[in-house]
Every structure is written in C-alpha cells, then in structure tokens.
Amino acid sequence: MDEILKVQNLHSYYGKSHILFGVEFSVNKGETFCLMGRNGAGKTTTFKSIVMLVPPKVGKVLLNGREINGLKPYQAARLGLGLVPEDRRIFGDLSVKDNLLLGTSSERKGYWDLAKIYTYFPILLEYQDQLGGNLSGGEQQMLTIARTLMGNPDILLLDEPTEGLSPVMVKVLKDLVLKLKELGTTILLSEQNIKFCMAVADRLVIIDKGHIVYEADVETFRADEDIKKKYLAV
Amino acid sequence: MNHRLETTALWSAYVLLFGGMIFVKNEHAIHIAAQIVILGLFAISFNILFGNTGLLSFGQALFYGLGAYVTGMIAKKFGGDHFLWALLLVPLVAMAVALVLGALSLRLSDVYFTMLTLAFAQLVWGITIKWYDFTSGDDGIQAIPKPEFLAGGLHYYVFAFLVVTVCLYLLWRLHRSPFGTILKGIRQNPTRVNFLGLNVFRHKLLAYVISSCFTAIAGGLYAGLDGSIHPDMFVWTMSGGIILMTILGGMRSFFGPIIGVAVFVLLEDVVGRSTQYWSFFIGAIMIVVVMLFPKGIVGVSRQFAGLFAKKGDPLEHS
C-alpha cells in the first residue's frame, strides 16, 4: 500500500523537556488512522512535530516518501499536509467565504473547490457573507475543516476535532468524516473519544507519556477491553 | 449589500468633497484640503500595515520624510523642471529602503518590531539634522521649485488630488484583493496562515514595502505643497500623529484614517486660531474616542447608520 505519511523514531522537546520518545507510525493512502491518548499524552505535540511547528530533534517525517524535516510549516503545507488545529480558530473578522478562499493559498489543485465545499457544507453557503466569528463552535469546526480541504491536502490532520462539541455536532462530524473516507481522503485523527475513533478509524495507535504503547486495527482494539482501561481510563 | 453601499457612499463623498474643492475660491481652504489629502494618503497607506496586517510601525515618518527629501533635494539642486521625475523616483527609492529595513525589523514581532521601526526613523532624523552639507540640517530646505504649470495653490491642489486619488484607488484594490485578505488573516492569526501554506514573513514584507512606498509619495507631494521641508518630518511625533489620526478615524475601515486626518487638521486650524493650546483639545478628543468609541469615527457612524450585519459587526470591506 502507498504510505502517505510515515513518522520514524520521533523525539521532540519543548525547551529541555523531552516530550516524544521515538514515536513511530505510518498512514496509508485512503485510510483513517487514529492517534489515541489521554490529555497530555503527546497527541498535539506529535501533530506539531509532523507539521514542523515543533521540529523534532531526532527522527524523520516522510510525506509521500519525501523527508520534510527542516522545512517551514508553510512549506510542509504546500507539499500536502492539511492541519486542522485543536483550537480550530478561524479568522473571526473575515467572512466565511474569505476564510474558505484563504484555504486555497497553497495553490494545490484537486477535488475540492468552492462549489464542492458548498455542496458538502450547505451551512457554509448559507452563511458565506457572515463573519466567521459569528458562527457557533461546531460551525467553526466545519469551517476549519472545509478551509483545510480547500487546499486539497494529501492528508488531513484532525487534532481532537470532537473536543468541546455538543453530542449533536459530534454526530454531524462523524458523518462528515465518513463521507470524506468514502471520497478516499487520507486522514490522521487524534482523539480521546473512543466511540468516535471506533466509528471512523481503520487503524490506530495509543500514545502514552510520549511513547507509542499499542498499535492495532480497529476491530482488534474494539475487543480489547484491558487496553482501553489501562491507557484510556474508560 | 450594506458594505457595498458604505463603500459607494465613502468613495462618492471623497470625490465630491475633495474634487469639489476645485471650485472653491478660498486659498486657505484649498491649502487645508491639500494637507488633508496628502496626510490622508500617508494615513491610509500606514493603515495597510496597522489596521490590515496588525503591524504597528512607529517609524513610518521615515518614509514620509524620505519622499519629501528626495523630491525636495533634487528639485532644489536641478530646478523646478526636475520636480516631476524626482517625484517618480520617490516610490523606487522608498521601496528599496523599505525592503532593507523591513527585512531587518520584521524578523522581530510585536513591540520589538515597533521599537525597531522607531529606532530606524530616529536614526535617519539624526543623520538629517547632523549632515548639514548634504541635507541643510536643521534649516531644512526652503523655496523648493516646481514646474510652471503647478505654480499656485489651486493648480498644485488639483495635481495632488489626482495623484492621491490614483494612489487611493490602487490601495483600495489591494485592500479588497486576495492579498488583502491574506494580510487580514495574518493580523488575526499568523500561525494559522502559515498552516495554509503561506510564507507569512514574505507577505508582511510586501505589505511593509507597499505601505512605505505610498507613504513616501505622500511625502513627495508635501514637498511641493509649501515648498518647504524640515527634518521634523522624520521625527517620532510625526509617526505618532498618524497613528492617532488613524485610530481617531477608525483603523478597521479603508477610509477611516483620512477621516481622522480631516478632523485633526480642521481642529488644528479652527481651534488653533483662538488658542495655541489646540493640542490640548486634540488630546481630550482622543481620550473620549479611545474610551467610548474604540472603533473610531467610522465605527460609530456604522452603528448610527444601522449598517450592521444581522449578527454582530459589519464586514470590513470599505
């Protein structure tokens, strides 16, 4: 299978604090891969290291087989990394449409354009002239994902997308991710919401205190109650 | 749509008001109008950096002075017929200087950027004062000659108004362009813009160069207005004044800054006739504006005119 993203022996630091200890996994084309773990386990740091916002001291990140270590975040984005950050901040003072158009900045062509986005996200069409800041939290999350899709990334990185969303919005988000899967989108997802992860993911790893402690496909994980108790405190 | 209406209204008001000054016979009024359009160009180009991109430069007077001195020194040395090409040279010189200073100062962010821009401007002011043989130092340059057809208050006003209008149109196009949207994105969250695949530094630098270029054109126009320029054009109170005027008018609106300039210049003129303490009134007005109407005159007018989108603020289109 084609490996879109490969992370090899990643060691990252915040100043002198060692945060990631040899994190390794790879995401294949078209699959939804989930990075699970508790708060503070290193999920967001892993994402930040992949997009080179916190460049890893040791280890490699390969995108489509090409090493991207040492690139700036904007260069990584241009090569096809589409990050939807955890705090999902949109550009509150720009209209929804301008937010979306900013997403085309990487000048990557592909499936997604404004018309497609409006078909999949009708709510954004309705609010296209509103300021982004006036949308609800869930709508802002949709806008952030849509904006990232506008850049036609090779892989979509969703950092804790369900955090702080109402159960209704989590359901909407789940349906959206499933639709994106049908379209063949490659997704790397970080989550602590086990149900959400099991509903959308194909494979997963668990990260704990900066170490990858478990790797399995979602069916094996579903059956493994001990693992859930041990690392995810269910 | 409301923001279209507002844009049309403001452009029409600008053209009618300042274009209409051509028919006014009062020399003094024309001189005041010329000051407003020239400083207005300075303030609006400054706001490309400040209101749009979120970069507070405390040293834009450097480019205002630079434009004035390039024009003034060339015209003084070679004669009035060289005034126009000196003015054409101004944007090129300003862009070259801005490219260097921007590349140095934009490495820093927030208050450090602001302080560095201030330092550069003060440095140039110091050089201008001390290098008497080249710049005439503290005396400044007087009796700058102009071509025959620009002589007289009205002729020069028409010329300045046309140049400023063309510049404003270009800046307005820029403000509305995708590039303008990127600048607003950078103001709100540079990291996010980075993730979208954009080199934030390069965009900031481009904004800095463009802003400085138009500021210098304003300076060049000023050199021809009274034919007298002075090192004080470089000094930090000049930069500070433009910041005040921009906030007074409204930094989230394209035309806000020139409205601030108009209020400032008119107050100085009207109040200045009866008391030398006119700056006291300006200060008092600034305190009221900042405390009660942080969005400036345009922000207040939007509220009164009901130019409100249904949910919250109007879009910052005009």
Write out pLDDT tens, residues B235-274: 998 999 999 999 999 999 999 999 999 999 998 888 888 8
Question: How many beta-carbon contacts under 8 Å exist across A and B?
Answer: 81
CA distance A66 to A153: 15
**Between chains, do B195 and A85 touch, taking CB under 8 Å as contact?**
yes
* pLDDT higher than 80, residue B305: no
User: Given this model, what pLDDT does residue B276 score?
Assistant: 82
User: Given this model, what pLDDT does residue B215 score?
Assistant: 97
In chain A, the residue whose alpha carbon lies closest to the alpha carbon of B198 is: A74
CA distance A183 to A161: 19
Would you call A44 an interface residue with chain B, using a CB distance cutoff of 8 Å? no
Answer yes or no: are the C-beta atoms of A148 and A156 closer than 8 Å: yes
Judging contacts by C-beta atoms under 8 Å, the chain B residues touching residue A159 are none
Which pLDDT tens digit goes with each residue over A142-194?
A: 999 999 999 999 999 999 999 888 899 999 999 999 999 999 999 999 999 99
**Between chains, do A91 and B191 touch, taking CB under 8 Å as contact?**
no
Which pLDDT tens digit goes with each residue over B103-129?
A: 999 999 889 999 999 999 999 999 999
A26 closest CA partner among A51, A1, A5:
A5
User: Given this model, what pLDDT does residue B14 score?
Assistant: 94
User: Given this model, what pLDDT does residue B32 score?
Assistant: 95
**Between chains, do A72 and B309 touch, taking CB under 8 Å as contact?**
no
Closest approach of B14 to chain A, Cα-based (Å)? 26
Would you call A86 an interface residue with chain B, using a CB distance cutoff of 8 Å? no
User: How is residue B82 written in tokens?
Assistant: 């060289």
A33 closest CA partner among A228, A221, A230:
A221
CA distance A26 to A62: 9
- Among A14-28, A214-228, B254-268, B301-315, the minimum mean pLDDT is found in B301-315
Structural domains in chain B (count): 1
Which pLDDT tens digit goes with each residue over B275-291?
A: 888 888 878 888 888 88
Across B70-74, average pLDDT: 95
* pLDDT higher than 50, residue B71: yes
pLDDT band at B318 (very low <50, low <70, confident <90, very high): very low
Across chain B, mean pLDDT equals: 90
Q: What angle do CA B280, B283, B284 make, to 5 degrees?
A: 90
In a domain, B314, yes or no: no
pLDDT band at B294 (very low <50, low <70, confident <90, very high): confident
Range of the domain at B168: 27-236
Strands A32-36 and A58-63 turn out to be unpaired
User: Given this model, what pLDDT does residue B1 score?
Assistant: 47
**Between chains, do B185 and A91 touch, taking CB under 8 Å as contact?**
yes
pLDDT band at B311 (very low <50, low <70, confident <90, very high): very low
User: Given this model, what pLDDT does residue B133 score?
Assistant: 85
Query: How far apart are the two ends of chain B, measured CA to CA in Å?
Result: 12
Provide, for chain B, the percentages of residues in helix, strand and coil under a 3-state DSSP scheme, each rounded to the nearest 5: 80, 0, 20
All structural domains of chain A with their residue ranges: 1-80+193-234
Write down the pTM of the prediction: 0.87
B114 closest CA partner among B124, B122, B103, B106:
B106
In a domain, B310, yes or no: no
Answer yes or no: are the C-beta atoms of B289 and B247 closer than 8 Å: yes
pLDDT band at A224 (very low <50, low <70, confident <90, very high): confident
ipTM above 0.85, yes or no: no
B127 phi and psi angles, rounded to 5 deg: -60, -45
* pLDDT higher than 60, residue B307: no
Would you call A190 an interface residue with chain B, using a CB distance cutoff of 8 Å? no
CA distance A5 to B63: 48
Closest approach of A156 to chain B, Cα-based (Å)? 12
* pLDDT higher than 70, residue A49: yes
Would you call B311 an interface residue with chain A, using a CB distance cutoff of 8 Å? yes
Question: Which residue in this structure is represented by tokens 């049309």?
Answer: B8
CA distance A29 to A134: 36
**Between chains, do B185 and A77 touch, taking CB under 8 Å as contact?**
no
In a domain, B21, yes or no: no
Strand order in the sheet with A58-63: A17-28, A3-14, A58-63, A66-67
B204 closest CA partner among B54, B5, B97:
B54
Would you call A98 an interface residue with chain B, using a CB distance cutoff of 8 Å? yes
Whole-number Cα distances in Å, A70 to A51, A130, B104: 10, 38, 23
User: Given this model, what pLDDT does residue A114 score?
Assistant: 94
Kindly tell me the burial class for residue B28, based on how many C-beta atoms sit within 10 Å of its own C-beta (0-12, 13-18, 19 or more).
Answer: exposed
User: Given this model, what pLDDT does residue B2 score?
Assistant: 67
Query: Exposed e or buried b for every residue in B74-92, given b needs 16+ CB within 10 A?
Result: bbbeeebebbbebbebbbe
Answer yes or no: are the C-beta atoms of B68 and B198 closer than 8 Å: no
User: Given this model, what pLDDT does residue A88 score?
Assistant: 65
In a domain, B62, yes or no: yes
In chain A, the residue whose alpha carbon lies closest to the alpha carbon of B51 is: A93
pLDDT band at B313 (very low <50, low <70, confident <90, very high): very low
Judging contacts by C-beta atoms under 8 Å, the chain A residues touching residue B2 are none
Query: Exposed e or buried b for every residue in B106-128, given b needs 16+ CB within 10 A?
Result: beeeeeebbebbbebbbebbeeb
Across A58-73, average pLDDT: 94
Closest approach of B156 to chain A, Cα-based (Å)? 40
A226 phi and psi angles, rounded to 5 deg: -60, -45
Would you call B182 an interface residue with chain A, using a CB distance cutoff of 8 Å? yes
Using CA atoms of B217, B218, B221, B227 in order, give the dihedral in degrees to the nearest 10.
Answer: -120
B245 closest CA partner among B35, B45, B40:
B40
Provide, for chain A, the percentages of residues in helix, strand and coil under a 3-state DSSP scheme, each rounded to the nearest 5: 40, 30, 35
pLDDT band at A42 (very low <50, low <70, confident <90, very high): very high
In a domain, B283, yes or no: no
Q: Which CATH number fits domain A1-80+193-234: 3.40.640.10, 3.20.20.80, 1.10.645.10, 3.40.50.300?
A: 3.40.50.300
